[in-house]
Chains A and B, each alone.
Chain A
Amino acid sequence: MIEILKPGFLSLVQDAGRKAYMDCGVPVSGAMDSDSYLLANWLVGNSLDAAVLEVTLIGPQILFTRETCIGITGAAMNATIDNKPVTMYETIKVSKGSVLKFGSVKTGCRTYISFEGGLNVSKELGSRSTYVYAKLGGVKGRALQKGDCIPLGKTTLRKFRKVPLEYHQTVSSIIVLRVLPSIEHTHFEKESIAKFYSTEYTIGSQSNRMGYRLEGARLAINDHKELVSSGIVQGTIQIPSNGQPIILLSDAQTTGGYPRIANVIAADLSLLAQQKPGDRVRFRKVSLEEAHHLNLIKTEKFAALL
């Protein structure tokens, strides 16, 4: 069992997501930075779809009521156990009665904390992921609060592991995202397309797990007829009437009616999840073949370790 002494800014139980009910309007949810999520579970010998904590901007304080192992990946938040600094990206042994504390993030946005055996909250609609809007998953369908106690699953194997450096998530306040032109790409004015690929956008303060609102060059559409609502997927960049892009992420609704200019490739979604308000992104166009190739390289790299 772990007990939350301080919840931090936004701490959520997340797993690999809820993919079975997209046709009923249920977002996928799940860990935003799936690379760091997988590595965290690997560090403690969990199955790769076990539930972990995703903590955003300011980390929590956690009391351990039993001896266990944990792993910390993603953005650095000055983690300490009993006030002694601990190393990320390697298996950490924790004694009964110890307290894990975090500070706030400097670069990056989200830290992942895995626990040996996984966070054993009950599955709802096939997943433990928290989706706050519909009060689904996690602890009572909400962000963690002071005093929450979460049981841990069955202990698996206790083996020290260390993630090689080349797997550590890159966190930077400026990134380039590779994108594919999307469904309504041709509806946009030529100059708007040019601006989209040549200028920098800032992550706005209204960004969250549903989507990142970007601020920058205004994008305009040629033809202003209203679109019929259609299914949408993670990574879609849609342009509402104010011309400022929104990148749809884990908790995004499953349907929408704004024109879609581009889609961030799957291989870059984890990198994007580490951006926070004030950080900047640029977009670079790739082909579908390149996107699949980049995805393959990345998946093979992870498969070699996990």
Chain B
Amino acid sequence: MFSVQAYGDSAVLIEFGTEINEQTRLEILSFTEQLKEDKIEGVINWIPAYTTVVIVYDVFKISFLQLKRELEKVQIKVQDLGLGRLVRIPVCYDTKFSLDIEEVMLQTGLSRDEIIELHTTPEYQVHMLGFVPGFFYLGGLDTRLHCGRKEKPRIKIEAGAVGIAGSQTGVYPLESPGGWQLLGKTPIAMFDKDRKDRPFYVRQGDRVQFYEITLEQYKQFNL
């Protein structure tokens, strides 16, 4: 179940739990799928996250109490959710891009090949998008790959860099500062405003799998 509370005068926050887990992810996914269908008058947009959904609304179209009542009626049907689209993302783990793989080897006691193997094996679940346009938070990183963030965050990380930190893994969609350990780079833009049919390569509800490509394949990818 979930609870609805006011968040400022133009939004509400719906809490589905307090811990990150698969059940909560599915409930939130089902809830937002239902929101798309129900089209509640006055709802402008929503931001799904790990354990919450923030809904922005127009108070001149729906009052807080009406909205709360409407939201409390939304039926969560986790059992009806499909498997979700599988998005396969090529990653070049060449030394040119795996800037922190040696630090990860030291922290985890794994070899380079083992790290790549463990990183490319799972099907990750997309929990949420945020931080910058097109950045997705993934769940499902193998516990053997869990490691600390960089002690000194980088001021500049290139768009497409693939990294890990703590229990998280993901791709930097824009050049940005960041503290993750970098393992490789993808030639696909995770955010491209000019790719009209798909500006965001990954969306909520998708599954993500990384697969390894060589430096040669990386260079030829966008030719």
Q: Which residues of A contact B (CB under 8 A)?
A: 19-26, 124-125, 133-136, 180, 182-183, 228-233, 235-236, 253-256, 260, 263-266, 288, 291-292, 295-296, 299
Which residue of B18, B56, B135 contacts A228 across the interface (Cβ within 8 Å)? B18
Count, A-B residue pairs, CB within 8 A: 127
B90 to chain A, nearest CB (A): 22
Q: Which residues of B contact A (CB under 8 A)?
A: 5-11, 13, 18-20, 32, 44-54, 56, 59-60, 63-64, 128-135, 137, 174, 191, 193, 199-200, 203-204
List 19 extra interface pairs beyond A230-B49, A231-B13, A231-B53, CB under 8 A: A19-B45, A20-B45, A22-B46, A23-B32, A23-B46, A25-B132, A180-B9, A183-B7, A228-B51, A230-B13, A230-B52, A231-B47, A232-B54, A233-B11, A233-B56, A235-B8, A255-B131, A266-B59, A296-B60
Kindly list chain A residues whose C-beta atoms are within 8 Å of the C-beta of B47. 22-23, 231-232, 254-255
CA of A233 to CA of B12, assembled, Å: 10
A25-B135, A124-B193 are known contacts. Are A183 and B13 too (CB-CB below 8 A)?
yes
Query: Across the interface, do A182 and B7 meet the contact criterion of CB distance under 8 Å?
Result: yes
Q: Say whether B131 contacts A183, CB under 8 Å.
A: no
Report chain A residues within 8 Å CB of B11.
Answer: 231, 233
* Cα distance A235–B11 in the bound complex, in angstroms: 11
A183: chain B residues at CB < 8 Å are 5, 7, 13
B56 engages A22 (CB within 8 Å) = yes
Using Cβ atoms and an 8 Å threshold, which residues of chain A touch B8? 180, 182, 233, 235-236, 263-266
B50 near A292 with CB under 8 A, answer no
Which one, A26, A264, A295, contacts B59 given CB within 8 A? A295
B193 touching A136, Cβ below 8 Å: yes
Q: Which residues of B contact A299 (CB under 8 A)?
A: 60
5 closest cross-chain pairs (CB), A and B: A255-B130, A231-B47, A231-B54, A263-B8, A291-B9
Q: Which secondary structure dominates chain A's binding surface? A: mixed
Given contacts A134-B174, A134-B191, A292-B64, whether A26 and B9 have CB atoms under 8 Å apart is no
A21 to B129, CA, bound (A): 10
Q: How far is the CA of A136 from the CA of B194 in the complex (A)?
A: 10
In contact, A265 and B9 (Cβ under 8 angstroms): yes
A228 near B7 with CB under 8 A, answer no
Given contacts A232-B54, A299-B60, contact A125 B45 (CB under 8 A): no
**Complex partner residue of A134 from B19, B20, B132, CB under 8 angstroms:** B132
Which residues of the partner chain A approach B9 to less than 8 Å between Cβ atoms?
180, 263, 265-266, 288, 291-292, 295
Given contacts A230-B52, A292-B64, A25 and B13 within 8 Å (CB-CB): no
Residues of chain B contacted by A233 (CB below 8 angstroms)? 7-8, 10-11, 54, 56
CB of A231 within 8 A of CB of B52, answer yes
Residue contacts A-B, CB under 8 angstroms, 20 given: A19-B45, A21-B200, A23-B46, A24-B133, A24-B200, A125-B193, A180-B8, A228-B20, A228-B49, A231-B52, A231-B130, A233-B56, A253-B132, A263-B9, A264-B8, A266-B8, A266-B9, A266-B59, A288-B9, A295-B9
